[in-house]
C-alpha cells in the first residue's frame, strides 16, 4: 500500500467574492502519476499555486508527507520536496541552460561564505559536482549539446524540457507539471510520456495538469476532475472516461460554443 504524498482536504479559495475552489479533496499517492483535469477556468492552476505556497487557502488543509504546508513560504515548500513547472514557461532567459539548471541545485550546494570568498577546494568541488549534475540532467532531456546557449534561444518545446530538467534539479519528491505537453508535437509527447514514467519508476511522485486527454489517460494512474472549483470525479482512467458527470462537464462546454 503506497503512502500518501500529498493530501488536500476540504480546501477552498476565494478571490473577493469569486469562489475559485470549494471543498476540494483528493490524495496523491507516492510513486504514482496523478492527473488533474477539467475545463478551462476550473481552478486547476490555483490548486498548484496553493500547494506551492504562492497562495494561501481560505479553508482546509494541505499536507505533504504528513506535515502541513499551510503558511510556509514557497522556498520552504521546495525544500520539503515539491517542484513545479509552469503553464507559461518561466525559465531564466538571460542565463544559459547549464546555469538555469544549476539554479535548481541551489539548495544542494553546500558551501559557506568563506568557501565562496576564498575559492577553497571545498567550494570548487561543490561547484564542479553541481555542474556535472546539471549536465547530467540536461543530457537526460536531450539538451546537453546546447548547454552553453542562452535559454532565450531555445524553441518552445526545448524550453519546456529545460524547465523540466531544472525542476528535477531541486530533487523533489513530488513534481508538479502544469500542462507539460502544451505546444508539443506527437513525437515529443511520446518521448515525454516515457520520461515521466521513468521518473515515476525512480520513485518520484508526479502530479500534472493537462488538457491532452490521450496523454492523461495513457499516463496517469489516477485522475481527479475539477469543474467550477469542485471535484466532480476521482478515480482511475477507465472510471473517469465513463463518468457521466465528467462527460457532461466537457461536452456541456462544447454545446455552449
Partner 1 sequence: MSSMATWFNDFWSTYSTLVFTVGVHAMMALSLWLTLSCGLLSLANAAFMGIGAYASALLTLQAGWSFPAVLLAGGVAPALVALVIGVPVLRLSGVYLAMATLAFGEVVRITILNMDITGGPEGLNGIPLATEGWHILLLLTLTIYVLHRLRRSKVGRAFESIKEDEVAARLMGINVARYKLLAFVLGSFIAGVAGALNAHFTFFISPREYGFENAVDFLTMTVLGGTSGLVGPILGGTILTLLPELLRFLHDFRSLVNGAVLVLVVLFLPKGIWEPRRVRAWWVRRTGVSK
The nearer residue to partner 1, 73 or 252, going by C-beta atoms, is: 73
123 scored as a contact of partner 1 (CB under 8 A)? yes
84 scored as a contact of partner 1 (CB under 8 A)? yes
183 scored as a contact of partner 1 (CB under 8 A)? no
Q: Which of 45, 46, 159, 170 binds partner 1 (CB under 8 A)?
A: 170
Q: Is 23 left (phi over 0), alpha (psi -120 to 50) or beta?
A: left
Residue owning grid cell 493537462: 210
All cell numbers assigned to 2 = 503506497
Element (H, E) at 77: helix 74-80
88-117: contacts with partner 1 (CB under 8 A):
90-95, 99, 102-107, 109, 111, 116-117
Q: Is 51 left (phi over 0), alpha (psi -120 to 50) or beta?
A: alpha
Q: Which of 73, 142, 218, 252 binds partner 1 (CB under 8 A)?
A: 73
Distance CA 124, CA 217 (A): 46
153 scored as a contact of partner 1 (CB under 8 A)? no
x/- site string to partner 1, residues 27 to 56, per CB under 8 A? Answer: -------------------------x-x--
Q: Are 28 and 39 in contact (CB under 8 A)?
A: no
Cβ-Cβ contacts under 8 Å for 195 (sequence gap 6 or more): 140, 141, 164
Distance CA 87, CA 78 (A): 18
124 scored as a contact of partner 1 (CB under 8 A)? no
Q: Which residues are near partner 1 by CB under 8 A?
A: 52, 54, 73-75, 78-79, 83-84, 86, 90-95, 99, 102-107, 109, 111, 116-117, 119, 123, 127, 130, 148, 166, 170
Amino acid at each position: 500500500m503506497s503512502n500518501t504524498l500529498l493530501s488536500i482536504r476540504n480546501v477552498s479559495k476565494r478571490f473577493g467574492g469569486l469562489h475559485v475552489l470549494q471543498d476540494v479533496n483528493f490524495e496523491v499517492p507516492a510513486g504514482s502519476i496523478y492527473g488533474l483535469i477539467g475545463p478551462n477556468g476550473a481552478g486547476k492552476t490555483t490548486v498548484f499555486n496553493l500547494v506551492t505556497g504562492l497562495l494561501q487557502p481560505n479553508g482546509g488543509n494541505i499536507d505533504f508527507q504528513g506535515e502541513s504546508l499551510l503558511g510556509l513560504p514557497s522556498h520552504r515548500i521546495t525544500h520539503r520536496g515539491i517542484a513545479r513547472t509552469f503553464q507559461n514557461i518561466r525559465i531564466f532567459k538571460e542565463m544559459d541552460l547549464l546555469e538555469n539548471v544549476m539554479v535548481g541545485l541551489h539548495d544542494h550546494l553546500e558551501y559557506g561564505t568563506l568557501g565562496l570568498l576564498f575559492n577553497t577546494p571545498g567550494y570548487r568541488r561543490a561547484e564542479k559536482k553541481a555542474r556535472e549534475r546539471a549536465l547530467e540532467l540536461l543530457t537526460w532531456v536531450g539538451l546537453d549539446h546546447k548547454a552553453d546557449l542562452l535559454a532565450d534561444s531555445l524553441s518552445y518545446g526545448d524550453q519546456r524540457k529545460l524547465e523540466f530538467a531544472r525542476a528535477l534539479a531541486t530533487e523533489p519528491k513530488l513534481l508538479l507539471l502544469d500542462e507539460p505537453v502544451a505546444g508539443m508535437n506527437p513525437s515529443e509527447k511520446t518521448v515525454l510520456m516515457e520520461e515521466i514514467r521513468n521518473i515515476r519508476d525512480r520513485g518520484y511522485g508526479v502530479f500534472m495538469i493537462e488538457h491532452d486527454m490521450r496523454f492523461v489517460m495513457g499516463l496517469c494512474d489516477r485522475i481527479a476532475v475539477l469543474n467550477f472549483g469542485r471535484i466532480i470525479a476521482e478515480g482511475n482512467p477507465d472510471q473517469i472516461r465513463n463518468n457521466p458527470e465528467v462527460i457532461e462537464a466537457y461536452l456541456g462546454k462544447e454545446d455552449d460554443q
